[in-house]
Structure 1
Amino acid sequence: MPPLTVPPTADVLDVLRQDRLLAVLRGSDPDALTACASVLAHSGIRAVELTLSSDAGLEALRRSVADSSLPPGTLLGAGTVLTRDQARAAIDAGARYLVTPGVTEEVLAEGVAQDVPVLCGALTPSEAMAAVRLGAAAVKLFPAHAVGGARYLRDLRAPFPDVPFIAIGGIALDDVADYLAAGAVAVGVGSPLLRESAQDSSRAALDALAARATAYLAAARRDA
């Protein structure tokens, strides 16, 4: 059995190592999601994932990629990528990285073939090993909160000290420091960050999103 090695990655992992935060946008309103992506980017979050759990995610990704007002260095990716066709569509739309909820061989193969990094979901040691061997740029521990949180991450990392882990799933603001202390390269935050702004693009909702983004970014960078 070959040893575990971490393949060379594109700049998304460098950004995550610096900012330690990935924003995850999920919803069914492309207008709201596009507005959220803009607010998050202008709040300083450079890695923004738009999930493909609905058609709105891909449309919002296309619009956000075309938005010349986004700060330079904003990295837009596609999440909940389940199939090769979705991977190709996301890359064609401008995704700089792909994110999966589990070990999906065809998505990893497409990412490797097109030199687009894949943050691959895994929950167990066997899944983490499979993700790395198939070319994952990083392992996304998901759903982190449901399996023991930071303590589980610490235990999982023990046999894989060189594998970059990103913790995602139910991470509240007060949890960020614990996950980073447990060895996460970064944390991914979805609904605790997005809340009502996934469907409400009013000024009040977007201002509240900006405030939450600033708080999460400050917590993530505190010990960077």
Structure 2
Amino acid sequence: MSKDRLAVLAAMMDQGVIPVFYHPDAEVCAKVIQACADGGAKAIEFTNRGDFAAHVFLDVTRHFAKADPSVIMGVGSIVDAPTAGLYIANGANFVVGPMLNPEVARLCNRRMIAYSPGCGSVTEISEAQELGCEIVKVFPGSQVGGPDFVKSVLGPMPWTKIMPTGGVDPTEASLKSWFGAGIVAAGIGSKLISQDLLDAGDYAGIEKRVRDTVALIRAIRGK
């Protein structure tokens, strides 16, 4: 179910953390995503990384269209326009990629879908902005310079909205460093939805970790 692009972007920035997750079992995905939503992170990035991942995604989006329409399903690891189009047809409300692809940007703009491409330089960030990307993903976050890179970009380009993925931990020290540098959100995968919690089927534990992270970000922002 398509959601308003501006509302999606606002939700991503408001919750501050974007859980990044994939599992080949649609039932497990639904339970994890519901736990994230109940913990205060309704916008989730489902990564396109497994066999038949698009089919799993479709099953999950169909589930939440009935079970909890407030969930905002996004897709990550998108590198080309045909794959982006497939996921948009299957219900994706935002698209994230490891790199910038102008064809993906044009496709998303045509459908009024938010696109956050991976950028590793000021030039790439500027090109993404020219293509209509409101939030740019800095990837891999720790390898391109970490919080210092963010500060350096925001100096001459203070209008830039940055969402790093890779190198962000759900800890007070890490989040203070990144949000103190000026990011608007952060993508966090296995450090948020850890393998031990998944193996134990501890969805209440996932919900608590997400809730604690969202609350920590709000406290750091002074909300």
Tell me if TM exceeds 0.5.
yes
- 1:93 aligns with one of 90, 94, 113: 90
SS at match of 1:173: coil
- 1:58 matches 2:57: no
- How many Å apart are 1:60 and its aligned residue? 3.6
Aligned-partner Cα distance in 2 for 1:84–1:198? 34
Q: Which residue does 1:209 correspond to in 2?
A: 206
Bigger mean CA deviation after superposition, 210-219 or 24-33: 24-33
Q: What does the per-residue CA deviation read over 1:93-125, in whole Å, with 9 as the maximum and x for residues that have no partner?
A: 111111111111111111011111101110101
CA contact (8 A) 1:27 1:199 kept: no
Residue 88 (structure 1) shift: 0.8
Seen in structure 2, the aligned counterparts of structure 1 residues 53 and 115 have a Cα distance that, compared at 3 Å, is same
Report the AA paired with residue 106 of structure 2: A
Once the two structures are TM-superposed, the CA of residue 31 in structure 1 deviates from its matched residue by 3.3
Shift of 1:85: 1.1
Which residue number in structure 2 is paired with residue 131 of structure 1? 128
Structure 2 vs 1, CA of residues 198 and 114 (structure 1 numbering), >3 Å: closer, same or farther? farther
Sort the Cα spacing of 1:56 and 1:207 in 2 relative to 1 into closer, same or farther, 3 A.
Answer: farther
Structure 2: state its 5+ residue gaps.
none
Q: Compared with structure 1, are the counterparts of its residues 56 and 209 closer, same or farther at alpha carbon in structure 2 (3 Å cutoff)?
A: farther
Residue 147 of structure 1 aligns to a residue whose secondary structure is coil
Specify the code of the residue in structure 2 equivalent to 1:189: I
SS of equivalent to 1:50: strand
In the TM superposition, 1:1-224 aligns within 5 A as: 10-55=6-51, 57-66=53-62, 67=64, 68-70=66-68, 72-174=69-171, 175-196=174-195, 200=199, 202-203=200-201, 205-222=202-219, 223=221, 224=223
- Partner SS, residue 10 of structure 1: helix
Contact 1:151 1:182 (8 Å CA) reproduced = yes
- Runs of 4+ in structure 1 deviating by more than 6 angstroms, as ranges, are none
Q: Which 5+ residue runs of structure 1 have no aligned equivalent? A: 1-7
TM score, norm. by length of structure 1: 0.87
The 3-state SS of whatever aligns with 1:58 is: helix
Q: For residues 188 and 107 of structure 1, do their structure 2 counterparts lie closer, same or farther at Cα, with a shift above 3 Å needed?
A: same
CA distance in 2, matches of 1:148, 1:69: 41
Task: Specify whether residues 56 and 24 from structure 1 end up closer, same or farther in structure 2 by C-alpha distance, changes over 3 A only.
Answer: farther
Instruction: Find the aligned partners of 1:198 and 1:76 in 2 and give their Cα distance.
Output: 22
What's the CA shift for 1:172?
Answer: 0.8
CA distance in 2, matches of 1:199, 1:119: 27
> Residue 43 of structure 2 contacts residue 74 of structure 2 at CA under 8 Å; is this kept in 1?
yes
Post-superposition Cα deviations, 1:32-61, rounded to whole Å, max 9, x if no partner, equal 223211211122212101011224542343
Return the alpha-carbon distance in structure 1 between the equivalents of residues 184 and 55 of structure 2: 29
State the TM-score, normalized to the length of structure 2: 0.87
Report the secondary structure of 1:77's partner residue.
strand
Question: How far has the Cα of 1:198 moved from its partner?
Answer: 8.5
Give me the CA root mean square deviation.
2.1
Once residues 126 and 216 of structure 1 are traced to their aligned partners in structure 2, the CA distance between those partners, rounded to angstroms, is: 32
Q: Give the number of equivalent residue pairs.
A: 214
SS of the counterpart of 2:100? coil
Identity %: 23
